[in-house]
Amino acid sequence: MRILLAEDDRATQLRLAAYVKEWGYHPVAANDGAEAWTLFEKEDFDCVISDWMMPKLNGVELIQKIRRSEREAYVYVILLTGQTEKHNLVEGMEAGADDFVTKPFDKDELRVRLRAGQRIVALERRLAERNRELSMFSSVASHDLREPLRTISSFLGLFEKKYKGKLDQEADEYIEFIMDGASRMRTLISDLLAYARLEAHAKDFEAIDMNSLVEEKLQFLARAIDECQAKITFDSLPTIEGDRTQLSQLLQNLIGNGIKYRAEGSQPNIHIDAVARDDTWVFSVADDGIGISEDHHETIFEPFRRLHGTGSHYSGSGVGLSICRKVVKRHGGRIWVESNEPQGSIFYFTIPRVVQGDSNHA
């Protein structure tokens, strides 16, 4: 395990380096926060032990920079605190420290805390590796499943053209079932692919005017809106920092669901709004559709969970809201629904007003 030691007190730094070496780790020392940051940007580290009070860049500022960095692998951070900073511990932990040790530190205490850190780093790496494998697997699987499905669909199309109405009524019915199955399979595969691609295609955050993004989505959904004469309104929405493609997908899924899950024959009314609450924006997408019973308010955000599945006239794969949850989480917010079935639903999601700058938290 490579450990970056950020400590301006020479004696403490030497002591730390000697211990860390003795325990079998590889220490790299920096004399202040700024030097530590330069080293961190250039090299790979598994762990950082940082003093709090340092010239140029203090420990908390260093940790904030580390957490916002594009570094893919998780880095475990231990903050060294003096007696005076101890009461500010919450600030250090909120900046992203994993653990803290009070100075003057006890050798054995630091050793066991580092060992715990090493376990967490190993677990994080394994998890990241599994996630990568899984998303690669689903991406490849979805691609490979598409190919035979295309063959089925195109020959089925030809078959329908040539034989529908020429065989008996039962055969016509079978053709319809197969067409419907193929179409559902197509939706499932493309949604699965969208879910798997979400992380791989993550982009850097930029300033996004949510008014124009909603306008774009309304144009994209124009056909569905026209079909049911949906009325979609929105109040003056803020500009936020985020991943354009992902936020666009989020709005599309929520507005699309508002249109889709309407009572038969009704004209949906959907309203999009955002209010500032402390340091977050709380967005809401409210519809007057069929609503969602309270038992399902959590489960609908899990992949492939559908309340209106096969047999109902609502098509879908059950992936849309799980994508929404992933997107909101990456933006440092949360998503939930409030609904009094059968009186419509309001989907809420929060986005920090303070720039997170973290484009790597998929």
**Which residue of 46, 98, 243, 287 would you call a contact of ligand ADP, by CB under 6 A?**
287
Q: What angle do CA 48, 54, 58 make, to 5 degrees?
A: 70
Closer CB to ligand ADP, 236 or 310, in the complex? 310
Give the residue at shortest CB distance from ligand ADP: 316
Both tokens of 322, joined, read 């799980």
Size of the site for ligand ADP (CB under 6 A): 22
Does position 261 interact with ligand ADP (CB under 6 A)? The reply is yes
CB of 114 to ligand ADP, least distance (A): 42
Closer CB to ligand ADP, 292 or 351, in the complex? 292
User: Residues with Cβ < 8 Å from 160, sequence gap 6 or more?
Assistant: 175, 179
Both tokens of 279, joined, read 């340091």
CB of 77 to ligand ADP, least distance (A): 36
Euclidean distance between CA atoms 225 and 28, whole angstroms: 60
Q: For residue 153, what are the CA distances in angstroms to 143, 172, 174, 181, 184?
A: 15, 16, 14, 10, 11
Task: Print the binding letters for residues 157-196 with ligand ADP: x by CB under 6 A, - otherwise.
Answer: ----------------------------------------
Q: How far is CA 263 from the centre of its chain?
A: 31
Task: Print the binding letters for residues 328-357 with ligand ADP: x by CB under 6 A, - otherwise.
Answer: -----------------x------------
Enumerate residues 214-253 that contact ligand ADP by CB under 6 A.
253
Does position 268 interact with ligand ADP (CB under 6 A)? The reply is no
**Which residue of 321, 327, 328, 351 would you call a contact of ligand ADP, by CB under 6 A?**
321
Does position 292 interact with ligand ADP (CB under 6 A)? The reply is yes
Residue type, 252: Q
Strand partners, 285: 272, 347
Does position 306 interact with ligand ADP (CB under 6 A)? The reply is yes
Closest C-alpha among 53, 44, 102, 61 to residue 78: 102
Does position 258 interact with ligand ADP (CB under 6 A)? The reply is yes
Cα dihedral sign, 343-322-260-256: positive
Task: Give the binding range for ligand ADP (CB under 6 A) out of 37-45, 149-157, 219-227, 302-310.
Answer: 302-310
Residue type, 139: S
Euclidean distance between CA atoms 79 and 5, whole angstroms: 10
Both tokens of 185, joined, read 């399979």
Q: Which residues bind ligand ADP (CB under 6 A)?
A: 253, 257-258, 261, 287, 289-292, 300, 305-308, 316-322, 345
